[in-house]
Structure 1
Amino acid sequence: MKRLILTLCLILTAPMAQAVLPDEILPDPAMESRAREISKDLRCLVCRNESIDDSNAELARDLRLLVRERLVAGDSNDQVVDFVVDRYGEYVLLKPTASGANLVLWIAGPAMLIIALGIGFVYLRGRRRADDSAPQALSDDEAARLKEIMGE
């Protein structure tokens, strides 16, 4: 029974293990910490919504190595991120910036919601007014004309 529980625990915790391989780890703990901090905010271009730190894809490994190379070369954290973004595009960021063309995307969702709520409000208000005006009875002339049209 203990073996079964241990096996289940290992199986369930295995996906939570980080994908960084031992040969990628930098000898300097401070620099490795910086590399981890940067790579947790970079998206794996193969996996959807997974950081390069968590991904087992070959491209994620290449990106992790690239981040570490840039850090060893003396780049700051921002310079490393800018280098990767220049090379792979802004899609590589897990948290895209709210500037430039992305600003349109950040604003479009709330703007469409507000427009849809406005249209819904106007529609419901118009329906309420239509319901308030009850149909009126036909006048004598209209009733006579209707009988004439209907052939009665």
Structure 2
Amino acid sequence: MKRVALALTLLAAEPSFADSNLPPAYWANRQLPDARQEAQAQSLMGELRCLVCQGQSIADSDAELAGDMRDLVRRRIAAGERPSAIRTWLVQRYGTWISYKPTGEPAAWPLWLAPLALLLIGALLVGRRILLRAKS
């Protein structure tokens, strides 16, 4: 009975080790033979955010998912796809958050306008303070 329980426990735990047994993607840490294509890949990978690390680009991240994404970018560029088309596909798949390159979508407008609004409010407060001190 103990052996059956142990076997069931090991079978239940086995899927949790599945990711560590996968071989890394072929192009994850290799450069493309064509220097122009590799430069395009490096440029694009520097503009894409790692979904695991969230603070690093996929070019800088050591996460497995970032390696898979580097492999995907290099394979698509080697196949002749333009970097802009690859970025568009990744944004459609993962959302605009994946790209460090800002978009002009209306959802991003508050991010562009907030600093300007804060500067304007700060200038108005400083100007008002100066006027109040000048009167007294």
Give a deviation string over 1:42-97, Cα, whole Å, max 9, x none: 11122243221111111211211221232244321110111111111111112323
Q: Percent identity?
A: 39
Unmatched segments (≥5 aa) in structure 1: 1-19, 132-152
Structure 1: which 4+ aligned runs deviate by more than 6 Å?
none
Larger CA Rg, structure 1 vs 2: 1
**Aligned twin of 1:85:** 91
**Aligned twin of 1:119:** 125
Q: How many angstroms apart in 1 are the aligned matches of 2:35 and 2:128?
A: 61
Quick one: which amino acid aligns to residue 37 of structure 1?
A: S
1:107 aligns with 2:113: yes
Greater relative contact order structure (CA < 8 Å, 6+ sep) = 2
1:71 aligns with 2:92: no
Contact 1:49/1:94, CA 8 A, preserved across alignment: no
* Secondary structure, aligned partner of 2:101: coil
**Aligned twin of 2:4:** none
TM normalised by structure 2 equals: 0.67
* Secondary structure, aligned partner of 1:97: coil
Q: How many angstroms apart in 1 are the aligned matches of 2:54 and 2:47?
A: 13
1:57 aligns with 2:63: yes
Q: How many angstroms apart in 1 are the aligned matches of 2:104 and 2:55?
A: 18
- Root-mean-square deviation (CA, aligned residues, Å) is 2.1
Unmatched segments (≥5 aa) in structure 2: 1-27
